[in-house]
Structures are given as structure tokens and as C-alpha cells.
């Protein structure tokens, strides 16, 4: 049997031992390490490559590669790779979702704790060296006993459910496929069963968005959805900025129809100076950045190596893009 050629991007964040293990996983096939910035080298390598392992998203050079059948993008959100022409070509595209699930779940809990306790107000008082209590403090509530709605029950959603359960919260989940109930989830809603998110919106004290951005989820949360939520509710978004209609979110926060929002993602990114989100009340912003797990790179490598095995054996691959993930808007 002829040996396959694997195109491997040189900017993958691996140490020497990890590169060695990747090469061993690819053997007896050939591994060609290429600088993705060198267009001539990329063109030469892609002429015969059957598979490619990239640090970021694929681009037109890979979509047009005649022999290419599989591309692995070494990150979680594959929206930019979910192009119509990818599905038209039948190209297999996979990612490294799950490598940061625990850290992303902690990020949601951080936003939730800070917003529920109104910690930014306390911090500002601390900087002014003010020791004071106000009547508003009587309305502060712990996470205990609250309801969290998690839209997206992939790796991050499952990790978040476990952490919310530890805080003795009621956990409502929403996902596409009808699968066994994950640990920590009290009630699962599923689009495959014809269920929507209205009941979650109405019950949630905290609405956590940890699902992929696609044509189907673009502006999933807009004015009509926010109108169903409690005025005391919070929205936390670690998905992509486009999952929320930001104009509707800003209006609701300014008018007191939502209690607050924690946003690690915005539309656009970076958020430009002068954008109204900077001055919207009760908003916490982080610049699309989550603390790294100590074994993040090892998790990425393990996913790649497992997918190499599955690709050779013709098995279902981990974190594969589906047509329902299509992103055609940009």
C-alpha cells in the first residue's frame, strides 16, 4: 500500500517529545513539516498531501488541495472552517474541542460569582478605601439554589454542569442530539425531540452560552428571547459574539430588563474603543482569553493521535464538523 503524506504545520505548539510522538503516530506514513506562511512550500506539500494538521483554521489553499481528504485544526471553535465549500468538497474537518473544557467552565463560574455578588462594586469601594454597606446588598444572592441554563452540552457544557452541581444549582441543558443525560444535568432539552429553549429562558437565573456559532445559532439570543428571561437573570457568553444580538443585549441591560452579562466574546473582536458595550452597566468583559490547563497541549496531541488512528481505520472521528455547523455569513 502506498504511503500517505501528512502535511503538518510548523507552528503547532509542541515540545520536542510531542513532535516525536506525533511522527511515531503518523508512521509508517510520511510527515512533512511546513511553515504555513511560506506559500510556495505549502503549495508544494499540498500537491500530494492526503491529510493536514494545522494550528489554526484552514484557508482556501487547503480547500483547493486536490488530494486532501482530512484537515485537523488544533483549536476548539471551527466556525471559520465550516465554509460551504468544505461540505461541497466532502472534506473531513476535525478540531481539538475539549482540551480547555474545564477552564472554560471555570470561566463561566467566575463570571457568575462576580456578577451575583456584585464584586466589581466592592472592588471599586476598596480602591476608594471605603468600608460601607448599602441597602442593595440585602438583595445579593449566592449561586446555591439558583437555576443555570446551559446552551450547548459538548465538552465545556458537561464540565460546567458538574461544577454547577457542586454549587447545588439546578442545571438545565440544551443540545441538538438526543443522547444519554450527562452527569450533573437535571433536565435536558433537545432539538432532535422538537424541543426549544423557551422553558430554559424562563427558568434560568444564569444563562450560559457554550455552543458553536453557525448559521443556525447566529443571534440565537435576541430581543424576543431576552424578553422571556427574568429581569434578575444573567447572561454569560463563552461561545462566539454572534450567538447574541448585541444591540438587544445592550438595550435590555440599560433598561434594567436583565441584571448583568459576562462576555468573553464579542462581535466584533477586538472590541473597538467607543463601542457601547464598554459603558453598558453590569457588564464584565474579558478579551476572548481563558486560563490554560496544565495539560492543554497533551490533550490536543491525544486528540490528534486518536484521530489519526480513526482516520486509518475508517471510524467516526472526534470533533468532526457536520453540515449543521455550516457558517456562510462571512
DSSP run (H or E) holding 171: strand 170-175
- Identify the structural domains of the chain with CATH numbers, from first to last: 5-99+295-325 (3.40.50.720), 101-285 (3.40.50.720)
Question: Which pLDDT score, from 0 to 100, does residue 295 have?
Answer: 93
Q: Please name the residues in contact with 104: beta carbons below 8 A apart, sequence gap of 6 or more.
A: 156, 159, 160, 210, 238, 290
Above 70 in pLDDT, residue 1? Answer: no
Q: Which is the catalytic residue, given 15, 168, 269, 323? A: 269
The residue-averaged pLDDT of 171-187 equals 93
Side-chain half-sphere CA neighbours of 8 within 13 A:
22
Mean pLDDT score across all residues of the chain: 95
Question: Does residue 292 or residue 82 have the better pLDDT?
Answer: 82
Residue of 83, 107, 146, 240 marked active site? 240
Options 21, 228, 288, 299, the catalytic residue: 288
Q: What are phi and psi of 62, to 5 degrees?
A: -85, -35
312 is catalytic: no
Per-residue pLDDT of 273-312, as tens digits, reads 999 999 999 999 999 998 888 999 999 999 999 999 999 9
In this predicted structure, the answer to whether residue 330 has a pLDDT above a threshold of 80 is no
Considering the chain, what percentage of its residues have pLDDT values greater than 90? 91
| Residue 207 in this model has a pLDDT that exceeds 90 | yes
Residue matched to cell numbers 502506498: 2
Identify the sign of the CA torsion 96, 99, 102, 107. Answer: negative
Q: In 143-257, which ranges are continuous DSSP H helix?
A: 155-166, 198-203, 223-227, 246-254
Active site residue 240: yes
Give the helix, strand, coil percentages of the chain, each rounded to 5: 40, 15, 45
Give the pLDDT confidence score for residue 13 in this predicted structure. 96
Measure the N-to-C terminal CA separation of the chain; round to a whole number of Å: 41
pLDDT score recorded for residue 48? 94
Q: What confidence score (pLDDT) does residue 139 get?
A: 78
- Within 10 Å of residue 27's Cβ, how many Cβ atoms? 11
Reported as a single tens digit per residue, the pLDDT across 228-251 is 999 999 999 999 999 999 999 999
Q: Is 202 annotated as catalytic?
A: no
The C-alpha cell of 170 is what? 439546578
Amino acid at each position: 500500500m502506498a504511503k500517505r503524506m501528512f502535511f503538518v504545520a510548523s507552528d503547532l505548539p509542541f515540545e520536542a517529545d510531542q513532535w516525536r510522538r506525533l511522527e511515531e503516530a503518523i508512521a509508517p506514513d510520511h510527515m512533512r513539516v511546513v511553515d504555513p506562511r511560506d506559500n510556495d512550500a505549502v503549495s508544494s506539500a499540498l500537491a500530494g498531501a492526503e491529510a493536514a494538521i494545522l494550528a489554526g483554521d484552514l484557508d482556501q489553499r487547503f480547500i483547493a488541495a486536490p488530494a486532501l481528504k482530512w484537515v485537523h485544526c488544533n483549536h476548539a471553535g471551527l466556525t471559520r472552517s465550516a465554509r460551504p465549500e468544505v461540505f461541497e468538497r466532502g472534506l473531513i474537518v476535525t478540531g481539538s474541542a475539549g482540551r480547555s473544557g474545564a477552564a472554560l467552565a471555570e470561566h463561566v463560574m467566575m463570571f457568575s460569582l462576580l456578577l451575583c455578588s456584585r464584586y466589581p462594586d466592592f472592588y471599586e469601594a476598596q480602591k476608594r478605601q471605603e468600608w460601607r454597606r448599602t441597602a442593595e446588598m440585602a438583595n445579593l444572592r449566592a449561586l446555591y439554589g439558583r437555576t443555570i441554563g446551559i446552551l450547548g452540552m459538548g465538552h465545556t457544557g458537561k464540565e460546567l454542569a458538574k461544577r454547577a452541581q457542586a454549587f447545588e444549582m439546578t442545571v438545565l441543558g440544551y443540545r441538538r442530539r438526543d443522547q444519554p443525560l450527562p452527569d450533573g444535568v437535571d433536565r435536558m432539552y433537545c432539538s432532535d425531540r422538537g424541543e426549544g429553549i423557551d422553558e430554559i429562558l424562563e427558568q434560568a437565573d444564569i444563562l450560559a452560552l457554550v455552543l458553536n456559532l453557525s448559521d443556525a445559532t447566529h443571534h440565537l439570543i435576541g430581543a424576543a428571547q431576552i424578553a422571556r428571561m427574568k429581569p434578575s437573570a444573567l447572561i454569560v457568553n463563552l461561545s462566539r459574539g454572534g450567538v447574541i444580538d448585541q444591540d438587544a443585549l445592550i438595550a435590555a441591560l440599560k433598561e434594567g430588563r436583565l441584571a448583568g452579562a459576562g462576555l468573553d466574546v464579542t462581535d466584533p473582536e477586538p472590541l473597538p474603543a467607543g463601542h457601547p458595550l464598554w459603558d453598558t452597566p453590569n457588564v464584565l468583559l474579558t478579551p476572548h482569553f481563558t486560563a490554560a490547563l496544565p495539560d492543554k497541549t497533551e490533550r490536543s496531541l491525544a486528540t490528534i493521535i486518536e484521530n489519526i488512528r480513526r482516520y486509518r481505520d475508517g471510524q467516526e472521528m472526534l470533533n468532526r464538523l457536520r453540515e449543521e455547523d455550516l457558517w456562510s455569513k462571512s
